[in-house]
């Protein structure tokens, strides 16, 4: 892995510096778990650090908060900033990083045309999660900690959609962790169960029902695209549309800025569909950024939801008709 030697040398010479570990907006278990694990490593070195998240923590990651204190939209005053699982600066808004700070990036997404400018960048798009990269770094550093192992497994589990998108290397990493620590995957599944209450659950059900009410269906050859708009829970609506029979689902929202989520069946991913790459093209349209995985991706911006949805559906139709 390129950069790990440089990172180790930098950390060894930075014990007198302060570190801020940042996660993207609506931080998922992969981003937050990686930050928590790395925070524990820095603490073991005697390095002062804290964890910050842009805007919010996802419901699937909230149980991880028992392992660390996390600040929402922190003011950046530390010497060194480590960014996890984030492919563009827009995903960190409203957090602003001053130009005089040292930036380190650890990520598994494909590098963009305008990537985050970092002094040290450890990016491996062949990995199915950032947590796998952090584990590999820990192996190289010789750092082994059970709590870190738990939160990294949580990140791997969710970013592979319960191992549906896992590779042989993913399972090798999971085996290494489970072989070293007395952990059971049932415990990890419990860690990523979404925290909810009756009001939130009702809001979710209302959002899904409205999404179904507003759903529009498009056919492209033998495939079905389901599209809709909601005020919240876009990714959940996408998941439900796929469960109902759609091959690709696209759901948008413009309640607080513009958000778009998309999902596709694994069979289409195997044939070359990459929603993350399409969402990168959507980013400029909505005055924001986009990206993600081949089968599940999203974009966040400020305006032009309708234009972006039309563009995305047109590109998906073009691909589907081509196969």
What CATH number is given to the structural domain containing 158? Answer: 3.90.1640.10
Domains held by the chain: number: 2
d(CA 18, CA 32): 19
pLDDT in tens, 5-57: 999 999 999 999 999 999 998 899 999 999 999 999 999 999 999 999 998 99
Lowest mean pLDDT across 6-20, 193-207, 209-223 = 193-207
β-sheet with 102-107: strand ranges across: 70-72, 48-53, 18-23, 80-84, 102-107, 120-123
Question: Are 12 and 86 part of one and the same domain?
Answer: yes
Is residue 197 over pLDDT 60? no
d(CA 166, CA 126): 11
Q: Angle between the 146-159 and 168-180 helix axes, to the nearest 10 degrees? A: 160
Question: Are 256 and 312 part of one and the same domain?
Answer: yes
Quick one: pLDDT at residue 198? Answer: 46
Lowest mean pLDDT across 15-29, 103-117, 285-299 = 103-117
The token pair at 248 is: 């690709």
The token pair at 177 is: 């962790």
* Mean pLDDT of the 290-309 span: 91
What CATH number is given to the structural domain containing 283? Answer: 3.10.310.40
Question: Are 177 and 235 part of one and the same domain?
Answer: no
pLDDT in tens, 148-188: 999 999 999 999 989 988 999 999 999 999 999 989 999 99
Quick one: pLDDT at residue 247? Answer: 97
Reported pTM: 0.78
Query: What domain range includes position 35?
Result: 4-191
Question: Are 64 and 121 part of one and the same domain?
Answer: yes
Lowest mean pLDDT across 2-6, 169-173, 240-244, 248-252 = 2-6
């Amino acid at each position: 892995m390129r950069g790990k030697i440089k990172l180790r040398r930098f950390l060894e010479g930075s014990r007198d510096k302060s570190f801020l570990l940042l996660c993207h907006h609506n931080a998922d278990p992969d981003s937050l778990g990686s930050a928590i694990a790395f925070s524990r490593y820095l603490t073991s070195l005697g390095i002062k650090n804290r964890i910050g998240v842009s805007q919010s923590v996802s419901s699937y990651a909230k149980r991880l908060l028992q392992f660390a204190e996390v600040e929402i939209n922190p003011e950046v005053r530390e010497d060194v900033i480590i960014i996890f699982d984030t492919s563009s600066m827009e995903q960190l808004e409203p957090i602003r990083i001053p130009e005089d700070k040292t930036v380190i990036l650890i990520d598994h997404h494909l590098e963009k045309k305008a990537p985050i400018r970092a002094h040290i960048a450890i990016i491996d798009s062949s990995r199915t999660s950032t947590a796998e990269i952090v584990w590999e770094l820990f192996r190289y550093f010789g750092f082994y900690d059970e709590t870190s192992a738990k939160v990294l497994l949580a990140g791997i589990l969710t970013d592979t959609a319960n191992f549906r998108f896992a590779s042989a290397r993913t399972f090798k990493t999971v085996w290494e962790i489970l072989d070293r620590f007395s952990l059971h995957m049932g415990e990890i599944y419990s860690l990523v169960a979404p925290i909810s209450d009756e009001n939130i659950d009702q809001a979710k059900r209302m959002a899904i029902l409205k999404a179904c009410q507003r759903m529009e269906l498009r056919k492209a050859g033998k495939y079905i695209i389901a599209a809709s708009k909601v005020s919240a829970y876009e990714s959940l609506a996408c998941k439900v549309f796929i469960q109902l029979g759609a091959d690709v689902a696209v759901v948008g929202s413009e309640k607080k800025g513009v958000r778009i989520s998309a999902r596709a069946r694994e069979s289409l991913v195997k044939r070359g569909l990459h929603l993350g790459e399409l969402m990168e093209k959507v980013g400029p349209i909505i005055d924001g950024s986009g990206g993600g995985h081949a089968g599940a991706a999203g974009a966040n911006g400020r305006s032009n939801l309708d234009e972006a949805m039309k563009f995305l559906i047109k590109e998906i139709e073009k691909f589907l008709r081509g196969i």
